[in-house]
Amino acid sequence: MSIQHTGIAGPVLAIESSCDETACAILAPDGTCLAQRLISQDGHADFGGVVPEIAARAHLALLPGLVSQTLKDAAMAPEDIGFIAASTGPGLIGGLIVGTGFAKGLALALNKPFVAVNHVEAHALTARLPGLVPGGAPFPYLLLLVSGGHCQCIAVEGVGQYRKLGGTIDDAAGEAFDKVAKMLGLSWPGGPALEKLARDGNPDAIALPRPLAGRAGCDFSFSGLKTAVSQKLAPYGQTALPYRFAADLAASFQQAVADVVANRIQQAFDMMPEATLLVCAGGVAANTVLRARLEEVAASRGLRFAAPPLKLCTDNAVMVGWAALETCQEAARRGLPPPDDSTTRPRPRWPLEEMTQRFETETQAE
């Protein structure tokens, strides 16, 4: 990708504030990361989950200094930026309003275009960052998005071209990890703590269900699995759990999730036989057991498996900047001007399938 291709002269400054990560990154037009900063908010642990109002206030306090420091890291002045981008949805509306409002204000002050980025699309396109995946990540590919708020299989056919093949009908995978971790008395965020405990356990020690495994389609359900874990814990009441039992239960739960996801991905491949690659993204993509299981599934189909490095699995601004660059590239490919989303409002819900309308609307306007 080059400046001439995108139609915008200069790098992108991107902001991420959709949940509890406050992040800023500056990417060159070819996708090279010139600087990035990320602050994981620490004001939520006592509540056992993200408190939207606390997150929004933290974004408001942190963003000005974070953006200033990121520009300093890149040895750039604000005027050197080509355009501004920000996660505009889906996510916690308070954080989205803060991040989008800050980005729009900066764009207005600098007289630069603003590009609204769909947070899920940013995850979907992360694997296409130059040099991230050996051999690249050409379209079409199958995406498994697994995080605290999302669990879905998506056919990624091009920039702005997505088909949701299946998704969770109750808890997201990351949400299930956090809730089971809380049952086990582990600290928040629960996913990493549960994985650490599971290393000392036997994944075959305790029988747990595999919800929806073998059924048609590739929807997910983790609520029944979570209930099964609570039933295993019931005999202990309020007494402390024996460490060996807790470790075995954590390992058995983690294996059950991996087995369910693997089965659903096999089903998704049947629904998308044209897929050339399996990509896993989102915070739960950092789980090593799940990664290994997905690699096995991809290999059984003769396909490659790719997942971003751990620092790009969770919410970050690099993926936001890259999605904005890909959007500009696609607009240029269609003979359209670079987008300017200065009137786009933050959205707590923004279905990925709606991204197909973006270029169709602009083409009709032309």
Nearest Cα residue to 284 out of 173, 122, 142: 173
| Residue 165 sits in the same domain as residue 106 | no
Within a domain: 131: no
Within a domain: 354: yes
| Residue 239 sits in the same domain as residue 281 | yes
Within a domain: 130: no
Per the structure, the complete domain to which residue 95 belongs is given by 3-125+315-365
Last residue of a domain, one of 307, 329, 355: 307
Flag whether 150 is marked binding: no
Mean pLDDT of 212-239: 94
Flag whether 79 is marked binding: no
Within a domain: 133: no
| Residue 10 sits in the same domain as residue 157 | no
Per-residue burial over 271-307, b = 16 or more CB atoms within 10 Å of its CB, e = otherwise: bbeebebbbbbbbbbbbebbbebbbebbeebebbbbb
| Residue 142 sits in the same domain as residue 82 | no
Q: How many CA atoms lie within 13 A of 360 on its CB side?
A: 7
> What does the alpha-carbon distance between residue 15 and residue 27 come to, in Å, rounded to a whole number?
11
| Residue 111 sits in the same domain as residue 193 | no
| Residue 118 sits in the same domain as residue 148 | no
| Mean pLDDT, all residues of the chain | 92
Nearest Cα residue to 82 out of 159, 171, 7: 7
Flag whether 145 is marked binding: yes
What residue spans of the chain are helical by DSSP H? 3-6, 52-73, 93-110, 119-125, 173-183, 190-198, 223-233, 243-271, 288-300, 310-313, 317-333, 356-365
Query: According to the model, what pLDDT value does residue 365 have?
Result: 46
Domains of the chain: total: 2
Residue pair 352/162 in contact by the 8 Å Cβ criterion? yes
- Count of Cβ atoms closer than 10 Å to residue 309 Cβ: 10
Single pTM value for the model:
0.92
| Residue 334 sits in the same domain as residue 274 | no
Flag whether 5 is marked binding: no
Residue 152 class from Cβ within 10 Å (0-12 exposed, 13-18 middle, 19+ buried)? Answer: buried
Percentage of the chain beyond pLDDT 70 is 95
Flag whether 237 is marked binding: no
CATH code: domain of residue 29: 3.30.420.40
Flag whether 46 is marked binding: no
DSSP 201: S
Residue pair 328/132 in contact by the 8 Å Cβ criterion? no
Nearest Cα residue to 176 out of 222, 224, 213: 222
Nearest Cα residue to 67 out of 44, 35, 114: 35
| Residue 260 sits in the same domain as residue 283 | yes
Flag whether 147 is marked binding: yes
**pLDDT digits 0-9 by tens, 269-309:** 999 999 999 999 988 998 999 999 999 999 999 999 999 88
| Residue 156 sits in the same domain as residue 274 | yes
Within a domain: 102: yes
Last residue of a domain, one of 291, 307, 323: 307
Flag whether 204 is marked binding: no
Query: Which residues sit opposite 40 in a β-bridge?
Result: 21
Flag whether 157 is marked binding: no
Query: According to the model, what pLDDT value does residue 3 have?
Result: 39
Mean pLDDT of 180-206: 94
Within a domain: 326: yes
Within a domain: 278: yes
**pLDDT digits 0-9 by tens, 17-70:** 999 999 999 999 999 999 999 998 877 767 777 888 999 999 999 999 999 999
254, amino acid identity: Q
The residue that leads in pLDDT, 150 or 45, is 150
| Residue 301 sits in the same domain as residue 320 | no
Nearest Cα residue to 247 out of 181, 189, 175, 173: 181
Flag whether 229 is marked binding: no
Percentage of the chain beyond pLDDT 90 is 80
Flag whether 252 is marked binding: no
Query: According to the model, what pLDDT value does residue 108 have?
Result: 96
Cα-Cα-Cα-Cα dihedral sign, residues 191, 197, 200, 202: negative
Within a domain: 143: yes
Flag whether 195 is marked binding: yes
Task: Kindly indicate the confidence band of residue 1, based on its pLDDT and cuts at 50, 70 and 90.
Answer: very low
Task: Kindly indicate the confidence band of residue 7, based on its pLDDT and cuts at 50, 70 and 90.
Answer: low
